Amino acid sequence: MNGFSFYSKNKTIFSMNKFICLSLFLIYGFSLNAQSSEKHLTNIRQLTFGGDNAEAYFSPNGKSLTCQITNPKRNIPCDQIYTIDIKKASKDTTYVPRLISTGDGRTTCSYYMPDGKSVLYASTHKAGKACPPPPAPRADRKYLWAIYPEFDIFVADLKGNITKQLTDLPGYDAEGTVSPKGDRIVFTSTRSGDLELYTMKMDGTDVKQITSDLGYDGGAFFSPNGSKLVFRASRPTTPEEVKEYKELLQQGLVAPTNMEIYVCNADGSDLRQITRLGKANWAPFFTPDGKKIIFSSNHASEKGYDFQLYMVNLDGTGLEAITKESKFNAFPMFSPDGKKLVWSSNRNNHGTRDTNIFIADWKD
């Protein structure tokens, strides 16, 4: 319990003040250890309680989030898209997010459109109501992501009505996010035979390929002024790595265990590798001034599963740890005004596998 104990040899009853303080820590997920060691994060609040809650991204006015949730206890067998009222969720632990996606198939990677009245997301629902199966366990126990070819990108209003389908080619189309300029969407697609980045206009037209090197390019976000892109990428180089990557891709799979952070201009020019840390570096996002990148990494982990948030300059220098609490922290995003950070973490899950959404005031 972060250094606290309900039992004391000398005192069998806590004072009322101590009891109130401890109750607040337990209810809202605050940790004195986290508060003191995570110097950029203050006033941490937990917004979801139970299940897998991830990829939470701010609305243009900073008052709401869109996210994906899996929670069998709430009859959500695989990821569906929800919106969260930040003010309500911050005050009420029983608050229930609102469903945006159809509830069928599997969804991923939602993002608010510039009008704040609609949400972009990818879904397999047109291929069937059931959740597509996860990758089968392997003898080598390699961790794999499924690249479902049934994924296409849609736009829905906040009542869940789909207003437009933006992609309809065979293969994987997902991981879409929107430029702050409101003019283009970046997404990942297998339409070239590899997992590459593309951009398109807000109506799905004028599709342009951004990356072309062999390997998985995904999870891209625009810089605050819309001039650059940051993304995660794998780059198989040896004959063995290339062979495995291509074989997995043919099976609709990718191994996300070796990825680094890259940056390029919004048209794909001036492509640069930012991190050279090894292991999995992913979920990048620009800082509000556009001069740094915050991302998740397990490069410092001895066993592989210890993902913390880090921040780095665009030239790869100045690496700084942002989180130190729990074994999983990912999907960071700054609020439009740059004053808050939202991310997913398994802190305060009381020994379960739950991943929840947290928000904090950002302190430079």
| Per-residue pLDDT reduced to its tens digit, 161-173 | 999 999 999 999 9
Based on the fold, state whether residues 318 and 273 are members of the same structural domain: yes
Residue 150 has pLDDT above 90, yes or no: yes
Structural domain contains residue 134: yes
Find the range with the poorest average confidence among 15-29, 249-263, 267-281.
15-29
Based on the fold, state whether residues 20 and 45 are members of the same structural domain: no
Predicted confidence band of residue 282 (pLDDT cuts 50, 70, 90): very high
Structural domain contains residue 3: yes
Predicted confidence band of residue 137 (pLDDT cuts 50, 70, 90): confident
- Which residue segment(s) compose the domain that 25 sits in? 1-30
Count of structural domains within the chain: 2
Residue 2 has pLDDT above 90, yes or no: no
CA–CA separation, 76 and 148 (whole Å): 19
Query: How big is the chain by its Cα radius of gyration, in Å?
Result: 20
Residue % of the chain over a pLDDT of 90: 86
| Per-residue pLDDT reduced to its tens digit, 218-231 | 999 999 999 999 99
Structural domain contains residue 282: yes
Structural domain contains residue 24: yes
The confidence score (pLDDT) of residue 21 equals 38
The confidence score (pLDDT) of residue 337 equals 97
Predicted confidence band of residue 139 (pLDDT cuts 50, 70, 90): confident
The confidence score (pLDDT) of residue 27 equals 43
CATH code for the domain of 257: 2.120.10.30
Based on the fold, state whether residues 245 and 162 are members of the same structural domain: yes
The confidence score (pLDDT) of residue 17 equals 40
Based on the fold, state whether residues 137 and 269 are members of the same structural domain: yes
pTM: 0.89
Based on the fold, state whether residues 94 and 144 are members of the same structural domain: yes
The confidence score (pLDDT) of residue 25 equals 38
Residues 125-143: what's their mean pLDDT?
92
Structural domain contains residue 198: yes
The confidence score (pLDDT) of residue 130 equals 98
Residue 29 has pLDDT above 50, yes or no: no
Residue 5 has pLDDT above 70, yes or no: no
Based on the fold, state whether residues 20 and 53 are members of the same structural domain: no
Residues 314-328: what's their mean pLDDT?
96
Based on the fold, state whether residues 234 and 183 are members of the same structural domain: yes
| Per-residue pLDDT reduced to its tens digit, 330-356 | 999 999 999 999 999 999 999 999 999
Residues 191-207: what's their mean pLDDT?
98
Predicted confidence band of residue 13 (pLDDT cuts 50, 70, 90): very low
Based on the fold, state whether residues 13 and 132 are members of the same structural domain: no
Structural domain contains residue 36: no
Based on the fold, state whether residues 11 and 144 are members of the same structural domain: no
Residue 281 has pLDDT above 90, yes or no: yes
Residues 253-258: what's their mean pLDDT?
95
Structural domain contains residue 35: no
Mean pLDDT, the chain, as a whole number? 91
Based on the fold, state whether residues 133 and 265 are members of the same structural domain: yes
The confidence score (pLDDT) of residue 305 equals 84
The confidence score (pLDDT) of residue 251 equals 96
Structural domain contains residue 307: yes
Residues 40-65: what's their mean pLDDT?
98
The confidence score (pLDDT) of residue 36 equals 59
Based on the fold, state whether residues 124 and 255 are members of the same structural domain: yes
- Residues linked to residue 160 through DSSP beta bridges, in sequence order: none
Based on the fold, state whether residues 146 and 8 are members of the same structural domain: no
